[in-house]
């Protein structure tokens, strides 16, 4: 699987993997690890190092927490802005695992997820964070859960999937997180991993048996997003999963695309799935059918946000440092080339017609006034 957001390297399994991971990240940000830095320290047991110039650190996702902005990134970095992205401060985080996704259903309660099976929770608007789950805990609790579920259809295949996923250690990343409110939410990740909570993350239940995924060759679940009244998961092989709330199960929908989707964005009327090589698929009927859109660029589309204007379209960002602006129908796009492009990983929009974007060079604000319909 490709894409700058989903680097499936273990950051804790052993020293060799840790060195490999540090070298890779070092190459991305232009600095190689020193011998002192390669001395293994389990990122699950080490708090994030407090840094200067946090707005220049590699960041992988961004969201709103009420009126505040929260961005997450490498080595446990979580940055917070109270002034729409003009200034940023670093939050206290108990791990150094790379963080890949973040969501706040309320102004105070939020969750961030990433490598090593980490799930973090904040109850104060992102100022401070606590660890709710990691790969070590999940490997044991999920196995115990299924050991007591003999009546589940395909239980043998589900247990086999779980054993394979944790065979190399508790290193698999969660790639997406979404919460309905401060109690109910989901996390999704590599090799078909999915879990749900109904008590704000105090306990997590594996949902491998509640999604229409192949237990022998499960698809990576790259993102999860509520659009309108429906909850969707973007996946590999052009697959989009949709939650059947009545049956409490995710059903799959084939879009006709054969690559990976890394993002889902839209409104009650229109749904877009964002993928490799600039691919964008559109659905106007809740995912029942899809059409591929003609795009002006072939760079991987990594994230998107809906315009806050009354009849606005969407703003997409990609790995080539381009910003794509749609019309209101979300069928056609124009390309904006920022003065200082970077490999974008996330985007949110402000009420002032600007885009706050994250990427491998940090977080920036791009003015879009007069360009978003």
Q: What are the tens digits of pLDDT across the range 114-154? A: 999 999 999 999 999 999 999 999 999 999 999 999 999 99
pLDDT digits (tens, 9 = 90+) for 212-265: 999 999 999 999 999 999 999 999 999 999 999 999 999 999 999 999 999 999
353: left (phi over 0), alpha (psi -120 to 50) or beta: left
pLDDT of residue 243: 98
Under DSSP, the state recorded for 43 is G
CA distances to 133, 191, 315 from 141, rounded to whole Å, are 10, 18, 40
The answer on pLDDT for 298 being more than 70 is yes
pLDDT digits (tens, 9 = 90+) for 358-371: 999 999 999 886 55
- Between strands 130-133 and 119-122, the pairing is antiparallel
Q: Give φ, ψ of 212 to 5 degrees.
A: -80, 65
Nearest to 62 by CA among 73, 51, 53: 73
Average pLDDT score, the chain: 89
The answer on pLDDT for 171 being more than 90 is no
pLDDT digits (tens, 9 = 90+) for 51-66: 999 999 999 999 999 9
pLDDT of residue 368: 83
Q: What percent of the chain has pLDDT over 90?
A: 81
Fold of 300-373: Thrombin, subunit H (2.40.10)
* Architecture of domain 46-299 in this structure: 7 Propeller (2.130)
Q: What residues does each domain of the chain span?
A: 46-299, 300-373
pTM of the model: 0.89
């Amino acid at each position: 699987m490709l894409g700058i957001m989903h680097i499936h390297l273990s950051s804790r399994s052993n020293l060799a993997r840790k060195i490999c991971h540090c070298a890779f990240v070092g190459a991305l940000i232009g600095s190689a690890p020193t011998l002192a830095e390669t001395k293994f320290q389990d990122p699950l047991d080490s708090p994030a190092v407090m840094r200067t110039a946090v707005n220049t650190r590699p960041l992988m996702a961004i969201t709103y927490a009420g009126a505040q902005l929260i961005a997450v990134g490498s080595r446990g970095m979580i940055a917070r802005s109270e002034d729409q992205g003009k200034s940023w401060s670093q939050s206290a985080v108990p791990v150094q695992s790379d963080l890949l996704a973040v969501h706040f259903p309320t102004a105070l309660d939020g969750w961030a997820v990433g490598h090593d099976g980490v799930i973090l929770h904040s109850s104060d608007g992102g100022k401070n964070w606590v660890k709710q789950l990691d790969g070590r805990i999940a490997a044991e609790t999920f196995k115990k859960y299924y050991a007591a579920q003999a009546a589940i259809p395909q239980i043998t295949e589900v247990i086999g999937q779980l054993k394979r996923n944790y065979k190399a250690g508790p290193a698999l990343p969660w790639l997406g997180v979404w919460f309905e409110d401060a109690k109910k939410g989901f996390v999704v990740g590599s090799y078909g991993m999915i879990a749900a909570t109904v008590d704000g993350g105090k306990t997590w239940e594996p949902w491998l048996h509640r999604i229409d995924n192949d237990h022998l060759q499960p698809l990576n679940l790259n993102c999860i997003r509520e659009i309108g009244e429906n909850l969707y998961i973007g996946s590999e092989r052009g697959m989009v999963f949709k939650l059947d709330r009545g049956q409490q199960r995710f059903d799959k929908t084939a879009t006709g695309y054969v690559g990976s989707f890394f993002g889902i964005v839209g409104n009650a009327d229109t749904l877009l799935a964002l993928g490799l090589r600039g691919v964008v698929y559109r659905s106007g009927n809740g995912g029942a059918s899809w059409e591929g859109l003609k795009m002006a660029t072939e760079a991987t589309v990594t994230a998107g946000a809906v315009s806050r204007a009354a009849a606005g379209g969407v703003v997409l960002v990609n790995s080539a440092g381009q910003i794509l602006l749609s019309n209101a129908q979300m069928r056609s796009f124009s390309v904006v080339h920022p003065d200082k492009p970077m490999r974008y990983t996330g985007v949110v929009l402000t009420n002032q017609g600007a885009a706050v974007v994250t990427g491998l060079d940090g977080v920036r604000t791009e003015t879009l006034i007069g360009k978003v319909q």
